[in-house]
């Protein structure tokens, strides 16, 4: 697998999230899941919502948009005080935001009115860490002004500690925040939904107190992903600390001196580094550097010593490890290192779904081979039903341009009726069935086969014809073996009328489909949006007794040998129609 990469074990992240929701919930504190360190990764966002977290927070509106577009069902909090230039997007894409400036809140109000929305805000208070927050003396005036604004709902107060100044969120600070919350509610007749006490640094305070006061919310990131509190980075009992793994590759391994030789000046970053003379050592160079990761935040999982780094390289003393070119090294990361690698576009982001994808694909291939063998023994008794043109139907359908002139999108009579019912169900959702293909003659199939063969010849000029035809056969049947020749096969996608586009199924750009193993219907490493859309189309066809193809999420069979084999029927009712 490609390196460098960050491997995210979703099961461990889910465990940590569930454990923390239960832990803090035991004293009435809700958890907001912070996604900024993982850059709004949709896979992780979905894990958090499934683990009982109902609000996700991110400091970048771009990440919130990404999660919304991926179909993540949650409320979204902008974690950083908005900038004036982002206020419109904040109102459009987030449900609430942290705030400390009246000028910005006024701008949010104006856009909330324009978009006929109610935008919630949590006022941040300065309790000593000297990052964002109102001074307590300015609080009353600020609230008075906010309560006059339209489109803005003051929903809570909060504080941030242990981030900039390292100030502990101890009992004194939390009692102060609680008392301020009570004063606000009494003075202004409000009921604050959120009294947000801080972040992963609040663990020690929480464990040591029997009375959390009015604190009912914490914003957690690091403890979910790295399993530790953040005052001294002690592991939290029962949590995984290895849910995130950085993997990089040895690109050079040689015996060299431990001291640079020659006249010494500044390095690439303006430093004059001091080295320890260890004689000759095995120096291994790894294919990642300061452009991608905070190297001081890495801990190797084997006994090697990090000597230093440049923009693209980490140099290690391999000690007694026999490192060879191509060997992979694993590292634990602290928060700063994790933030850097997740932000770097040069580090591949791999979830446990991706790791499991290899196993899934192997199972699909095994199932396909068994399916092909069983098809050879499946009986056929064609009921001789006629082909009918979908092109001439009254159904609301859309049709993909065909390689064949005057193509009529013919199907058997029963398939025609089933497509009609699917079309009517989609009508109720402002969607339309997009028919890619239906009955295909041998000539039609031959043209598709040859077109794909010729394109791969250009793509892989050094491959033999036999190799190319094997590649083509993964997704296009040879002319005499296609289920489309039975009139019982339909290729389809769904067109969303609201968005005036074909829905995204994970490998398609409009109606053009990239043929790869992610086309397997239940491939785990596709976006949450694609999974939802595949579930929709497969469910519609299965409700009409079709079966989805083992390798193609857009291909559906009814009545033919492939259908009968998959359904365990005694015989197929549609054979090949030669035309």
CATH code, 523: 3.30.1380.10
Q: What are the DSSP E strand ranges found in 429-537?
A: 431-437, 489-496, 501-502, 508-509, 512-513
**Of 36, 349, 418, 531, catalytic:** 36
Task: Using pLDDT thresholds of 50, 70 and 90, give the confidence band for residue 395.
Answer: very high
- The whole-number pLDDT of residue 197 equals 98
For residue 269 the two structure tokens come to 């970053």
Give 82's contacts (C-beta < 8 A, 6+ positions apart). 61, 90, 97, 99, 104, 108
Are the beta carbons of 77 and 55 closer than 8 angstroms? Answer: yes
CA neighbor of 281 nearest in space, from 315, 251, 247 = 315
Task: Using pLDDT thresholds of 50, 70 and 90, give the confidence band for residue 479.
Answer: low
Among 297, 329, 346, give the residue marking a domain's end: 346
Q: How far is residue 335's CA from residue 338's CA, in Å, rounded to a whole number?
A: 5
CATH classification of the domain holding 252: 2.40.37.10
Residue 317, burial from CB neighbour count under 10 angstroms (0-12, 13-18, 19+):
middle
Is the pLDDT at 487 greater than 60? The verdict is yes
Give 13's contacts (C-beta < 8 A, 6+ positions apart). 44, 47, 48, 224, 225, 240, 243
Evaluate whether residue 544 is within a structural domain: yes
Indicate the pTM of the whole model: 0.65
Q: What is the distance between the terminal CA atoms of the chain, rounded to a whole angstrom?
A: 46
6-24 residue pLDDT tens: 999 898 999 999 999 999 9
Pairing of strands 75-78, 96-99: parallel
**Average pLDDT of the segment spanning 80-99:** 97
Helix (H) or strand (E) holding 97: strand 96-99
Task: Using pLDDT thresholds of 50, 70 and 90, give the confidence band for residue 378.
Answer: very high
Evaluate whether residue 4 is within a structural domain: no
- Regarding whether 408 and 301 lie in a shared domain, the answer is no
36 catalytically annotated: yes
Evaluate whether residue 1 is within a structural domain: no
Is the pLDDT at 545 greater than 90? The verdict is yes
Evaluate whether residue 165 is within a structural domain: yes
- Regarding whether 497 and 386 lie in a shared domain, the answer is yes
- Regarding whether 83 and 53 lie in a shared domain, the answer is yes
- Regarding whether 290 and 195 lie in a shared domain, the answer is no
- Regarding whether 339 and 305 lie in a shared domain, the answer is yes
Q: How far is residue 232's CA from residue 201's CA, in Å, rounded to a whole number?
A: 9
**Average pLDDT of the segment spanning 517-532:** 89
- The whole-number pLDDT of residue 157 equals 98
Q: How far is residue 216's CA from residue 197's CA, in Å, rounded to a whole number?
A: 8
Q: How far is residue 488's CA from residue 439's CA, in Å, rounded to a whole number?
A: 7
Maximum pairwise Cα distance, the chain: 89
- Regarding whether 393 and 536 lie in a shared domain, the answer is yes
- The whole-number pLDDT of residue 437 equals 93
231-282 residue pLDDT tens: 999 999 999 999 999 999 999 999 999 999 999 899 888 888 888 899 999 9
Evaluate whether residue 267 is within a structural domain: no
Q: State which residues form the domain around 396.
A: 354-440+482-572
Give 551's contacts (C-beta < 8 A, 6+ positions apart). 364, 368, 474, 475, 519, 520, 521
What 3-state class would DSSP assign to 546? coil
- The whole-number pLDDT of residue 294 equals 97
Is the pLDDT at 415 greater than 60? The verdict is yes
- The whole-number pLDDT of residue 462 equals 79
- Regarding whether 365 and 488 lie in a shared domain, the answer is yes
Evaluate whether residue 387 is within a structural domain: yes
Distances (CA, A) of 30 to 37, 76, 193: 20, 15, 11
For residue 166 the two structure tokens come to 């390292």
Evaluate whether residue 498 is within a structural domain: yes
Among 318, 346, 374, give the residue marking a domain's end: 346
Rg (CA), the chain: 30
Among 346, 372, 387, give the residue marking a domain's end: 346
Are the beta carbons of 278 and 272 closer than 8 angstroms? Answer: no
What 3-state class would DSSP assign to 329? strand
Evaluate whether residue 563 is within a structural domain: yes
């Amino acid at each position: 697998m490609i390196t460098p990469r960050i491997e995210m074990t979703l099961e461990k992240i889910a465990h940590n999230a569930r454990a923390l929701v239960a832990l803090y919930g035991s004293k009435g504190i809700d958890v907001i899941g912070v996604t900024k360190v993982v850059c709004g990764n949709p896979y992780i966002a979905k894990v958090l919502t499934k683990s009982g977290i109902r609000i996700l927070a991110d400091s970048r509106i771009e990440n919130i948009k990404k999660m919304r577009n991926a179909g993540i069902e949650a409320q979204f909090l902008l974690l950083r005080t908005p900038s004036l230039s982002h206020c419109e997007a904040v109102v459009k894409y987030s449900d609430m935001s942290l705030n400390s400036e009246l000028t910005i809140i006024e701008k949010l109000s104006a856009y909330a009115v324009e978009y006929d929305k109610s935008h919630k805000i949590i006022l941040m208070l300065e309790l000593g860490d000297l990052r964002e927050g109102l001074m307590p003396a300015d609080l009353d005036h600020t609230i008075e002004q906010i309560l006059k604004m339209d489109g803005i709902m003051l929903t809570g107060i909060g504080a941030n500690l242990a981030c900039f100044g390292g100030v502990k969120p101890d009992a004194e600070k939390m009692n102060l925040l609680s008392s301020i919350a009570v004063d606000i509610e009494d003075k202004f007749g409000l009921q604050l939904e959120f009294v947000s006490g801080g972040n992963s640094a609040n663990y020690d305070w929480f464990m040591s107190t029997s009375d959390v006061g009015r604190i009912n919310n914490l914003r957690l990131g690091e403890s979910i992903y790295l399993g530790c509190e953040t005052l001294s980075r002690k592991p939290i009992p029962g949590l995984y600390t290895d849910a995130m793994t950085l993997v990089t590759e040895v690109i050079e391994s040689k015996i060299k001196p431990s001291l640079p030789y020659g006249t010494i000046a500044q390095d690439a970053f303006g430093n004059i580094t001091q080295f320890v003379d260890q004689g000759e050592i095995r120096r291994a160079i790894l294919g990642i550097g300061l452009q991608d990761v905070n190297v001081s935040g890495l801990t190797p999982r084997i006994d090697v010593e990090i000597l230093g780094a440049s923009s693209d390289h980490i140099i290690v003393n391999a000690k007694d490890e026999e490192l060879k070119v191509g060997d992979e090294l694993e590292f634990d990361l602290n928060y700063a290192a994790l933030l850097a690698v997740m932000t770097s576009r040069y580090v591949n982001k791999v979830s446990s779904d991706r790791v499991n994808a290899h196993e899934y694909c192997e199972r699909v291939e095994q199932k396909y081979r068994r399916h092909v063998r069983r098809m050879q023994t499946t009986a056929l008794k064609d009921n001789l039903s006629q082909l009918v043109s979908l092109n001439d139907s009254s159904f609301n359908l859309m049709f993909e341009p065909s390689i064949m002139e005057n193509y009529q999108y013919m199907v058997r009579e029963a398939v025609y009726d089933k497509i009609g019912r699917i079309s009517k169900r989609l009508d109720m959702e402002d969607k339309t069935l997009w028919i890619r293909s239906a009955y295909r003659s041998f000539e039609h199939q031959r043209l598709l086969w040859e077109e794909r063969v010729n394109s791969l010849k250009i793509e892989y000029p050094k491959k033999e014809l036999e190799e190319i035809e094997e590649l083509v056969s993964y997704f296009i049947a040879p002319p005499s073996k296609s289920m489309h020749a039975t009139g019982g096969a339909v290729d389809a996608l769904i067109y969303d009328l609201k968005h005036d586009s074909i829905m995204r199924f994970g490998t398609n750009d409009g109606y053009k489909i990239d043929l790869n193993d992610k086309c397997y219907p239940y491939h785990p490493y596709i976006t949450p949006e694609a999974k939802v859309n595949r579930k929709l189309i497969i469910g519609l066809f299965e409700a009409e007794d079709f079966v989805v193809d083992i390798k193609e999420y857009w291909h559906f069979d009814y009545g033919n040998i492939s259908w009968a084999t998959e359904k365990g029927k005694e015989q197929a009712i549609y054979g090949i129609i030669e035309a």
